[in-house]
Structure 1
Amino acid sequence: MAEATGKKPGWRELVRAMGQPKTGYMALFGFASGLPFALFLGTLYAWLSEAEVDLETMGVFSLIGLAYAFQFLWSPLIDKVNIAGFHRLGRRKQWMVPAQLLLGAILVTLSLLEPRTQLGWFSLLAGIGAFASATQDIAINAWRIDVADEKATLDILSTVYQLGYRLAALVGGAFGLIIAARIGWPETYALMGAILLAIGSVGLFAPDTPSGKGEVDEEADEQLLALRKTGELRPEIRARALGVVALLWAGAIAVVLTFMIMSLAFPPEERPNPTEFTLNFGPWIIIATVVVPALIAGWLAAQKRDGKNLLTSDEPPSQGGGFVMDHLYRALVLPLVEFVGRMGWSLVLILALVLTYRICDQIWGTFAYPFYLGELEYSNDEVAFASKFFGVFAILAGLAVGGFMLTLIGRMATLTIGALLAALTNLLYADLAVGGANMQMVSDAVGFSWAISQVPVIGSANLAKLTFTIFFENLAIGLAGAAFVAYLSSIVSKRYSAVQYALLSSLTLLVGTLGRGALGEMIEDRGYFDVFVLTTFIGLVAVVLCLAEWWRQSRLKGASGVVTPEAQPAE
């Protein structure tokens, strides 16, 4: 990576990275990650609506989103467990390829069902599909971090992943609606399933690291033996920490499973509300699975650093209950201990940045259509053109620009610029909320209004200012998204990439969800203009945190300009 090696980045490194086979596979895997998300949490509702499934029953399908929000709960499984019969595919591919083939088979099977009369099977398969999709995402994110090297850099792989993901959103969303209107929903889902089956087949040939069961087992054995060496924490101390962490994680999993079972088994009038569940239980799940374990991990790291509660001599390899305890400690606690121990107090800054960087668009996304259709009174066709077609291509353009900026000016500079642009685009929406005179003036001045007015049927100057605003917002979102994924990928350890990345990425999703209720009340009380001004200031907080993190990382660079081990992912 350019930032790690001190090499001057630019076009040559970009072209070289784009020509690597790993980059091509990353584009495919990004597409495979985004397609199920679009089909299960977006397009599926259009199919159910056309099948005249009632809204209360459709509400059950919103629990599918919990698989993505709480995917970190089973990330230790993906990080440390081998699948019998698939381990030869590689450490990550043994999870990715089966998940892709399963998703393809589920989509094809859904195409054979009638949603209204076979809703039970339909719901079950959709739920399994969402779980498989979230599991695939964990493995793909870890694969990207594992296989990155100086040729196929982490920054470029992260950008290509986002490009594939966004393209899949377009194919599974807007394109899916178009072809469904022509060939039917069953045929559309069968086609999407065939695409995923093809990607799973091609994925068999993707590189992976390590490439075999022997290497995975050897690494695991070394980690387990290391826990019993002189200078490591005493087993009874680790057992107490593991007991608390395991109890908290088990409780969180039990709460989520209880909610899902109640949603599927109870009659509509007795089903729990997914939004209320996330608002009421989401913060406690985060506290139980992230905050408290992180505090415990910090205490363990401090004990080891200060030379307390350590083994004074090597102990024999663990057996029986001790062997099970060491395995669970390695899967649940060690990823947090490594991350907290490596980052120290910098973890406070990192978590603050993670929590605020994408919060604006995470919160705002829910209220976009009420704003476009209700407040501004645009038609469905106009909004579809501006957001689904023009907007998606703007995001792809932003990702491309972000990828180039990562190679040209570096990760932290791109991250900071992305945060600033994403914050300032909220002011464009604030202008729309009070009539959009400024956006209309700029659109007219550059000739954009004339170009949009040439669009058949719906083209108009009024549509131009909306499209112009969405273009700049999505361009900023794409740029910021490329930088943010690259940043998250850079601060996790390759050894524990699945767990650490899943935890960090889940925080951004859940915090956005938790803030929507308060934002909705503010819209009702103060109107959209004040909300957009507020989200601008929230975005500027992220800019300040980016500058602080940039300064922190620059301090860790040696005199030669090479990033010190504390600033880069542990190997």
Structure 2
Amino acid sequence: MSTSAASLSDAGAAAPSVVRPGIGRLALYVLLGFSAGLPFYMFSTVLALRLTQHGVGLVVIGFFAWVTLLPTFKFLWAPLLDRFDVPGFGRFWGKRRGWIMLAQLGIFSSMAAMAFTASDESLAVTALFATLLAFWTTTLEVAADAWRIELAPTQDEQGPIVAANLWGYRTAMVAAGSGALIVADHGGWTAAYLLIAAAAFLPFPLLVSMRPEHRGANRWSALGTGLLASFAILTFAAIATAAVGWVLLDLASRGGISSTSNVTPAVLSICMLPFIAMALALPSIRRAHPDAWFRRSAAIGPYVDIFWRYGYATLIVLAFVSLYRMGDVLALTLSKPLVKSLGYSLTEIGVADGAVALLSSMVGVGLGGWLVTRWPQAWTLALGAVAAAIGNWGFVWLAHQSPGTFVLYAATAADQFGNGLAGAVFVVYLSMLVNPRYPGAQYAFLSGFAFLLPRLLAGASGSMQVQIGYDGFFILTGALTLAAILFLPLIGRIRPRAPDDPEA
């Protein structure tokens, strides 16, 4: 085994409290980011282009953006990852790596299924496998995020490890988008999805080869048991997802929702419900004694703790995090259909999403990871919002230029730099809100809620474009991100309540 592989093995095998710092830890998180980043474009941007090429309308493509809603609800199953081990895998490789290995099997099987249904003859089947891909990608992220917060509890420690994780994530995300489009242009969508599925599975053998976390367990017995258990879990997840999807499609049909529906008003109304519910519950939460059942509950206690610690300021925090990345989420839904409508080929888009996007994104992530260790938090958040807004407005500029590689590369670079910078500082900000007693569950809730409103609205992006056009749509996305700066004077003054629990 090489020196780098040995470092990874040592880092992955140790318990969170003793994982050695430095290159081994950073390399581990580059790898975990790479594992999670590869699938993301395949159920979002690449899928939007695939549907566009198959003649699916923008309103329906917008509906497919609701697949990306799944990560916002990861808090629903995040406590399971803290409480249970994956049979077989957990016995030998430990809780965190066990869930990561199961998630990688889920990612591979879901993406292979999308490859063999790449004709999109049944949009319901396409939606099913895209949803499963999003679910297993999110599960991998939940396990990796919990580990990261345990390893790096302070802001100074978070900066480098977040940058390493996002470098791996964005490298894979850009490579998947670029590589998939170029392969699809020459060999078809089936070949593109199979290629990315194989690449996403590459870390699995490395994880299998790592040293055990629990001594005395047999590697091959644990692997066999884990594979059998994984097959059962993956099958159950597919059946359950299909059943829920059938019910939702039936309800949508009964409700009169179709490809011509303007769902924006309904979506905006739904988005207000979480804020109203939380405001009503806050007085009871603030008065609750440490022994109150909902504060002690393993299922909801970690989430109640957020509201108990921050009180009514929680509503300000959640409004801010909902707005901060909204522009980038909305722009992601329609940016590639816009570029395709301007006459660019899949290969041209793929090349722009390759070296250009990767370099600019990594520069943005690196700068964000460096700034959070040196600048006040409010300044880094403000700079990230400005950079992200400029990146969104770059698509308006692109739409009014004659098609050419330079203008495409410039718009792509601005978008990816702003996205990378804003993403890095935002991850650190969310991580610092977390109570170290509940790292996995609370980060899952905060990061999930941060994208709930944006991804709900993303499903209505096609309807928005029909109403205000591409120019109006991308001007709006940039303005929404920039509006988050108005919250920063309040955000900078918010502090958590001192604990009243003797165990804290």
Per the TM superposition, whether the score is higher than 0.5 is: yes
2:383 alignment partner in structure 1: 417
Q: Distance in 2 between matches of 1:281 and 1:525?
A: 15
One-letter amino acid matched to 2:422: A
Shift of 1:476: 1.5
2:301 alignment partner in structure 1: 334
1:73 alignment partner in structure 2: 76
Shift of 1:141: 2.0
One-letter amino acid matched to 2:288: Q
| Match for residue 357 of structure 2 among 386, 391, 399 | 391
CA pair 504-258 structure 1, distance change in 2 beyond 3 A: farther
One-letter amino acid matched to 1:357: Y
1:538 alignment partner in structure 2: 480
SS at match of 1:408: coil
1:349 alignment partner in structure 2: 316
Q: Distance in 2 between matches of 1:258 and 1:286?
A: 25
1:33 and 2:18 matched: no
1:364 and 2:306 matched: no
Q: Deviations over 1:45-74 (max 9, x none)?
A: 777899x79889x97976644433433332
One-letter amino acid matched to 2:370: F
1:509 and 2:494 matched: no
Shift of 1:339: 0.7
Q: Distance in 1 between matches of 2:64 and 2:387?
A: 34
One-letter amino acid matched to 2:442: Q
CA pair 274-163 structure 1, distance change in 2 beyond 3 A: farther
Shift of 1:175: 0.8
Q: Deviations over 1:301-341 (max 9, x none)?
A: 32328xxxx68xxxxxxxxxxxxxx7996233211221111
- Higher relative CO (Cα under 8 Å, sequence separation at least 6) belongs to 2
Q: Distance in 2 between matches of 1:54 and 1:69?
A: 26
1:406 alignment partner in structure 2: 372
Q: Distance in 2 between matches of 1:425 and 1:125?
A: 31
CA pair 489-278 structure 1, distance change in 2 beyond 3 A: farther
Q: How does 1:191-340 map to 2 (within 5 A)?
A: 191-203=195-207, 260-262=245-247, 292=277, 295-296=280-281, 299-304=284-289, 330-340=297-307
CA pair 116-405 structure 1, distance change in 2 beyond 3 A: closer
8 Å Cα contact 1:301-1:340 kept in structure 2: yes
CA pair 42-539 structure 1, distance change in 2 beyond 3 A: closer
One-letter amino acid matched to 1:81: F
Q: Deviations over 1:98-153 (max 9, x none)?
A: 21133335545766x56569979887655544322222222222222122257992
Q: Distance in 2 between matches of 1:277 and 1:33?
A: 33
Shift of 1:418: 0.8
1:171 alignment partner in structure 2: 175
Shift of 1:351: 1.1
1:100 and 2:100 matched: no
Shift of 1:411: 4.2
8 Å Cα contact 1:297-1:337 kept in structure 2: no
1:548 alignment partner in structure 2: 490
- The Cα RMSD (Å) is 4.8
8 Å Cα contact 1:93-1:204 kept in structure 2: no
Question: What stretches of structure 1 of length at least 5 have no aligned partner?
Answer: 1-16, 214-254, 312-325, 437-459, 557-563
One-letter amino acid matched to 1:541: A
One-letter amino acid matched to 2:142: I
One-letter amino acid matched to 1:401: L
Shift of 1:195: 3.4
Q: Distance in 2 between matches of 1:287 and 1:479?
A: 29
TM norm structure 2: 0.71
Shift of 1:44: 5.6
SS at match of 1:304: coil
SS at match of 1:332: coil
- Percent pairwise identity: 27
8 Å Cα contact 1:79-1:496 kept in structure 2: no
Shift of 1:358: 0.9
| Larger Rg computed on CA atoms | 1
TM norm structure 1: 0.64
1:467 and 2:409 matched: yes
Q: Distance in 1 between matches of 2:452 and 2:171?
A: 24
